[in-house]
Structure 1
């Protein structure tokens, strides 16, 4: 009579890979642990707390146990009773609608110039990228303000050509424009991304178009722009979000007050003033959540409209 073989052997063979996968999962969770803890303590919990505070009257200095629940009063006050709120919205939207397109146009133009092989091109790329390395630093904003003061370098340059200068940063008519100019000057980061995108455009397309008699302008609009549209879209989303979040330069220029005559009262600066100067953290939290929702909606609109003009090279390949 034949004896049936033991059935435990396959299970033993499967136990080894299962334990290995389990050890790999544990190692992954161990590496993710610090990030997850930071996400909870630094991002998630403060966000939920600010959502709660947006429905309260809280002055920062009092303990959380003494906050007064006011419901939607902060939101009602924001939309119906606070003229400075709508003024900051207007300033921020104006800043973003002008500074972001100009910054992208300059970045694309410089990228097209640097997408050529000539002596010292690496040095020029590094020099143009340098301002973006400084980012929105306080030191850079201070230097920029000093350049556009009445005795600054910009007026000295104008005086060389016989043009009378003025205190640009202290004039309500031009103060916001100086901030826009600072934003445009920091075009290095999108320029590098545009350069990377231009390197991916097949040279054969330009050669075929040139053989067909297409000039430089037609090649740009019918080859460069469509092939570069995903990169344009990427830069547009990032720079739009950054444009609406502008804070440091406006804070330094106005000494944290949004001046002159509230001409540089950006939304984030107004939020800071309400939360940390006026100590009205409940109202500032409500402003922050409206700002978050607005940025989310703007980003969603960009993604929704992007499908009509963004073209990917693998479309239609299944």
Structure 2
């Protein structure tokens, strides 16, 4: 049960430092604690845990313009951040994790600023059908977080310049472009500011959980871990992964996300030799395990499902879709 609330505000606009602090807070969380972490990134594209950076982002253009590429621990899709966007992260023990309650904090904060939002789809908040907030979730070692964006005055011209959205995803949303399905809260209420949103979020956080908030002090050990995580988050190996050219490629859109599968088969075509999976699916932990689980697996539905069920994070629905996608029609 949650009995202590803490609020932390980021001290930087660097995405690698900010995402590293998320990892620090998750690691130091104690039973009964719940953290609200508020942070902003400057001129950044953040991709999901299992996405292909070069497929999702016009990286060369972003870097030429002095921007940052970052990869987060959670699943979901690529997003553009600038100082017209505010990020939030709510961190708690997994037993206290409640998406409806956490989402309620965001919706109440927005309502306090005169706007009525609603949850729409798998992880979006919208007003009149247009998205102003996208969410993702991460669970590890009995601790969890729920984080997302709040678009208040984002430079919308940057979205098509830096984001490369899959046509399958756009068709599934029934829109022509990413700009056509999103909105800035300041367009609906010009009085909204980042500082005003921070204040409303803290008030809603206290109200929903029925507790006062305290500032959080980091220890020297926390700061040491923060430095090591920032180095990891900024390393090219983490940002880009290892994309290989394999023999076959398939792409599909399911209810749980868009997925691209690149793979090679054994010489007799009877088993999977190597497989890479790129996806905006929210089940990041399971989806990350899929390539390793299927290496050497016979191209047989029952064998594929048996291999995928070996994961502690296995999702039968996702496993079934992956098996259907991998096997010849």
Q: Quick check: TM above 0.5?
A: no
TM-score bracket for this pair, using the shorter chain length:
under 0.3
Taking structure 1 as the reference length, the TM-score comes to 0.20
Higher relative contact order (CA 8 A, sep 6+): 1
Larger helix fraction of residues: 1
Taking structure 2 as the reference length, the TM-score comes to 0.19
Q: Which has the larger radius of gyration?
A: 1
